[in-house]
Structures are given as C-alpha cells and as structure tokens.
Amino acid sequence: MLETLSDLLYGFSVAITPINLLYCLVGVVTGTIIGALPGLGPSAGLAVLLPITFGIEPVSGIIMLAGIYYGAMYGGSITSILINTPGDSAAVMTALDGYPLTQKGRAGAAMGMAAFSSFIGGTVAIVAFTFLAPVLASAALSFGPPEYFALMVLGLTTLAGMTGDNPTKGFISAILGLFLAIVGLDLVTGLPRFSFGMMELYSGIDFIPVAMGVFGIAEIILASEEKVNMEGLKNTDLRWRKLFPTAADWARSKWVIARGTVLGFFIGMLPGAGATIASFISYGMAKKASKHPEEFGLGAIEGVAAPECANNAASVGAFVPLLTLGVPGSASTAILMGALMMFGLRPGPMLFERNPDFVWGLIASMYVGNVMLILMVLLFVPLFVRALLVPKAALNAVVIAFILVGAYSLNNSMFDVYLTIGFGFIGYFMKKLKYPGAPLVLALVLGQLLETSMRQSLILSGGSFGIFFARPISTVLMVIAFGAIFLPAIKNMISKLRAKNASV
Amino acid sequence: MKKADQITGALLLALSVYIALTGLSLELWWGDEGPGPGFLPFFVAVCLAILSLMLILSTLKKDNKVQGNVFSQEGLKLLVTIIGSSVVAGLLVNFVGMIVAMGLLAGFLVTFLAEERKIFTSIGMMVILPLVLYLIFRVGLDVPFPKGILGL
C-alpha cells in the first residue's frame, strides 16, 4: 500500500513536467474532437494520431495516447446529446436520454452530467487500477509461455465471439488478422511467408496501416454516406452556469454512478467486453433500479450518467490486462499495445519492474488527464461545439490527409500509404458486411507473440499440446477460451430448445 | 446480404486452400522441436475453411433474416472517389512531392464531399493543410518527405 503510494508520487513527478502536461492536454483536446466526429471513436483517434508520437519520448507518447483515448471516450457523448448522433458505439446509450434532454432545453445539464459522471467513473477506476495493477502484475510474473499463449487465445476468442452480431464473422475477422500477422520472415527460421517476393513485406504487415485503414478511412467513407445535420448544435444554450446539474439531478444519479463505475471497471477488465457493453448493462441496471423507469428514454438525467460513468470506468479497466498481463482486450488497447511495442516496451508484468517511470508516469497522467478533461469541458464546451460546426467535409478531408501522411511517416515509405488505402477499401466492405474490425487488429497485434509463445511451449513439452492443459492457470484459461468459441452455438441451441418447448 | 455472404464465404474458402497449400510447402513440424514455419499458416487455413463453410451453410437456412442489398449507389460512389483520389494522390507524390499532393487531395475531397461547395473553403484547405502537415511532420517530427519537381 505504502509502496504503491510512493510509486504513485514518483509517477506524478514524471507526469507533472510541463512537457508531459502539454502532451496530455494535446491528447485530451484532439481526442475529444475526433471522438465527437460521427463514426470515429477512440480506436480511430488513436490510429490516426499515433504517428505524431513516434518522434517523442515513450512516456510522453503514451501519456498523449492515453489522453486521446479517454478524450475520445468523452467526445462521443457530445454529439450523442446534442444531435442524437453517437460518435461511437460506447456513446449510443447516452443518446437515448441525452438527446431528449436537449429537446427539453436541458442540453447543458446533460453535457455537464456526462462530464461529471465520466470524471467520477474514470477517476474511481484509476484509483482501483492503481492498487490492483501491481498485485496482478506480481502474480503474473510466474506466467510462462503456456500461460501467455492461453491468455492470448482467450483474449482473441472472447473478443471475436462477443463483438458484432454474428460470431462466425467475428472469428473470421480474428483468423484473417492472424493470417496477416504471419506475413513476413518467420522469426525462427528466417523463411519468408506470404511475402510474394516483395521486400516491403519481409518485415511483416504493420498493424498501424491496417488500423488506420479499417478504423480511419473506412469509417470516414461510411460516415460521409450519412447526412448528419449539425444545425442543432448552433442553438444550444451551453452557458457555464447551465453545465452544472441541479441537486435533484445529483440525488437521482448518485447511486447510478456508484454502481455504473464498479460495473464498468470490472467489465472493462474482461477481454472482449469493453466500454460499449459496460454502457449497455449500466443503463439497463439504472432503469431496473429506478423508481421512475417510465422516464427513461424521455430525458432522465440518470440515463446519461449511467452509460457515461460506466464507459469511462471500463476504458480505465481495459488498461489492467494490457499493462499487467500484456494482453489487450479491445481494439483501442490493442493499438496502445502496438504503440508500446513500437516504443520498444513490452507490456506485461516485467514492465512494472523494468520501466517504473513509464508505468507510474502513465498512471499518474491518467489522474491529471481526467482533471484536465473535466476542466476543459466545463470551461470550453462551447468551443468544442464550435469545432464541430466546421463543415464535416473539411474535417474528413483533413483526417484523410493526416492518415496518409501518418502512414508514410511510419517507415518513410509509400508502400505503407498504399497499404493503408487498401485496408480502407477492405474495411469498408468488412463494415458493410458486418465483420467487426477489432478482432482483426487484435489478432494482428498479438499474432507474432502468439506464435512465439506457442512454439516456446511446444519446445518445452517436446511437441506435446498437453502442456497447455498440464498447468492449472493455462488449463483454466484454455477452457474459458474454448467456452467462448462454443458459447454462441450453445446459446443458440438453448434458445431453440426453449422455443420448441414453448410451442409444445 | 445472403448473396454477399455466399460470395465472401466462397472467396474465403479459396483463400484458405491457398494458405493451406503454402503452409504445407513450408515445414509443418520438426521432429522433436515442435511446430515449423508452416504450422500456424496451416492451422489458420483449417480454421478459415471451417468458418467460411459455416458462413455459407448459414445462408442456406430458411430463417436467414437479413435481406436486401447493403450497398447503395451513393455509397459505392463515395468509396471509389475517396479511395481512387487517395491512390492518385499517392502516385502524384513522386512528381509534385508529399506536401503538394496532400494539399491537392484535401482540396479535391473537401470540394467533392461538401454539401454546399465554397471556393474559399477549397482554396483555404489547399493552402492551410499542407502548411500544418509541414509544420507537424517535417519540422516537428523530422520526417523526410519526398520532394517533387517544385522542390517542395
């Protein structure tokens, strides 16, 4: 406990340097604006802005990326509330009551409640994270290759099985990601695989062009298809006074926020679940526990508080498996993991021992970032709203040019630019045909580590796959992973049986 | 959607055969040392084959609810224009340099995507965006951009 506090203090000494504060601010501001753009969520924000962080110190880079991540998480709620157009899937539930509140002339209160509940959810989750992470990391120190392999399989199968409407398509997406990860020179033998004699492919396919294409370019094309009317933004009354929820609002929301925060944090830690599911469950719980469930959907203030505290708590919870185990559970954390690896850091339990300045600097910066976010929202919300009034065409054109230049700056090569455009094209069809992008990117990021840990395990066991079931932790993880594969089929069977019984 | 699923299923099945054959041509297994370079590709191919067959089979079921064409003419036009202009801008980089090519791309896109076209916005975009990109990437991050005939 005391050790954790002194580590945290040390972290603050890293995070509160002027330059890191500046990066945090830039991250929060750009994240909020990108998150507010329809279609673009945290994963897009991270992918698009990632190249900017290459030239800077790793700790400053990750502080900025973390700022983009939770800035975008909040940003999604702005358009949800004001014009009924969620910026990303985690903000869908916020629109249900946020927009009716705007129609009632209470946009300010809804925006304020979204900001305060995000702040509370985020900050409480960071406190939980601060004390839980070191414990988990030290427990994970005993993990060997079989446990890591099992963990990665678990992360992939749960994400693939849970995102999207059709689990088959989720798994196809994950398998294609694994295939992309295979491309390039084999790490053990040096043999080229699927590189078609192209030198550029020898070093493998980078996850960044894929993420920028699938989450950036494809989403922009899709968002351009939809005509969004931003006119509603002009007339909202967002004076400073109006942003503070009333005492009655707080009375209705306080327990909702408390429950949503705890729930969000734990759901965020689970691989595959994440912020969207947390916001759905939190909203559902708030409605069930409410004395006035009939008001939900018509402008209940706690209908804004519930999803917003949960999705921010979940976004912090998602850092737990990423930093302590080195296994991300969502698209955004997969991109963060890829970024860490580009900085030359391998996320996982050793990170806490080898790079304490980095880990604790990041954790401390999350406290700072959350305070910064709420101050900015309260002080400059009208400015953010103004930023959204810039014609969407201009914003989209800027983002596309930014993506292409960012892709070039990865390796100073035009090949990455074309790769990004190509994945934008593929991503469009994936989205239209309902193949989720998250499993693809996660599998691509994890692919090489997955293959290495599998080979190491099998060398240890002399080629026997029994090793994955010979140790208790890896056995449990593998069983849950297989469960995640068959769960959709089992659920389907049960519901069919029920329907049959009901009709008899 | 049904037809689209059948077509993608067939394409993915073909891809899985290709991956499997390539995996087999690399080594699958090495004596005591465990899996060789062909093992994971072969495993991926088997999974992909099973999944694509499942996808095709699911479209044959009667209760396939999703109907209708998911692609609109408008959407495909946007897709072709945005992807096409990005490729053209990529090709232009060799001639006019990164900065100018991106300015042209952004100017084109803002004109094409805008609901009401304003010449001022288009020109402003063509001038300001390259400047911002230059400041961030060239000056700030020291990325060596390809220069074109204009020396920019």
Q: What is the ipTM of this complex?
A: 0.93
Residues 6 or more apart whose Cβ sits within 8 Å of residue A240: A378, A379
Residues 6 or more apart whose Cβ sits within 8 Å of residue B84: none
Q: Do A54 and B141 touch (CB under 8 A)?
A: yes
Residue B48 confidence (pLDDT)? 95
Which position has the token pair 């939980």?
Answer: A128
Q: Do A409 and B141 touch (CB under 8 A)?
A: yes
Q: Do B109 and A397 touch (CB under 8 A)?
A: yes
Q: Do A224 and B33 touch (CB under 8 A)?
A: no
Q: Which member of B41, B87, B109 has the closest CB to residue A182?
A: B41
pLDDT in tens, B83-125: 999 999 999 998 999 999 999 999 999 888 887 777 888 888 8
Q: Which member of B35, B79, B82 has the closest CB to residue A455?
A: B35
> Which residues of A are less than 8 Å from B67 in CB distance?
none
Q: Report the alpha-carbon distance of residue A85 to residue A102 in Å, rounded.
A: 13
Residue B103 confidence (pLDDT)? 92
Residue A408 confidence (pLDDT)? 92
Mean model confidence pLDDT for chain B: 86
The answer to whether A81 touches A299, Cβ cutoff 8 Å, is no
- Within an 8 Å CB–CB cutoff, is residue B59 touching chain A? no
Residues 70-99 of B with CB under 8 A from A: 70-72, 74-75, 78-79, 82-83, 86-87, 89-90, 93-94, 98
The answer to whether A95 touches A80, Cβ cutoff 8 Å, is yes
> Which residues of A are less than 8 Å from B113 in CB distance?
224, 392-393, 396-397
Residues, chain A: 504
> Which residues of B are less than 8 Å from A221 in CB distance?
75, 78-79, 82-83
Residue A242 confidence (pLDDT)? 76
- Within an 8 Å CB–CB cutoff, is residue B4 touching chain A? yes
Which residues of chain A have a pLDDT value below 50?
none
Q: Hey, how many other C-beta atoms are within 10 angstroms of the C-beta on A419?
A: 22
pLDDT of residue B70 exceeding 90, the answer is no
Residue B144 confidence (pLDDT)? 87
Bigger pLDDT: B66 or A159? Answer: A159
Instruction: Using CA atoms of A204, A206, A207, A211 in order, give the dihedral in degrees to the nearest 10.
Output: -130
The answer to whether A184 touches A195, Cβ cutoff 8 Å, is yes
Question: What is the residue extent of each domain of chain A?
Answer: 2-503
Residue B106 confidence (pLDDT)? 92
**3-class DSSP state of A229:** coil
Q: Which member of A186, A392, A398 has the closest CB to residue B106?
A: A398
Identity of residue B24: L
Residues 131-190 of A with CB under 8 A from B: 166, 168-169, 171-172, 175-176, 178-179, 182, 186, 188-189
Bigger pLDDT: A265 or B150? Answer: A265
Which residues make beta-bridge pairs with B29? B35
pLDDT in tens, A424-472: 999 999 999 989 998 999 999 888 889 889 888 888 888 788 888 988 8
Bigger pLDDT: A78 or B65? Answer: A78
Instruction: Identify the band that residue B67 occupies on the pLDDT scale cut at 50, 70 and 90.
Output: low
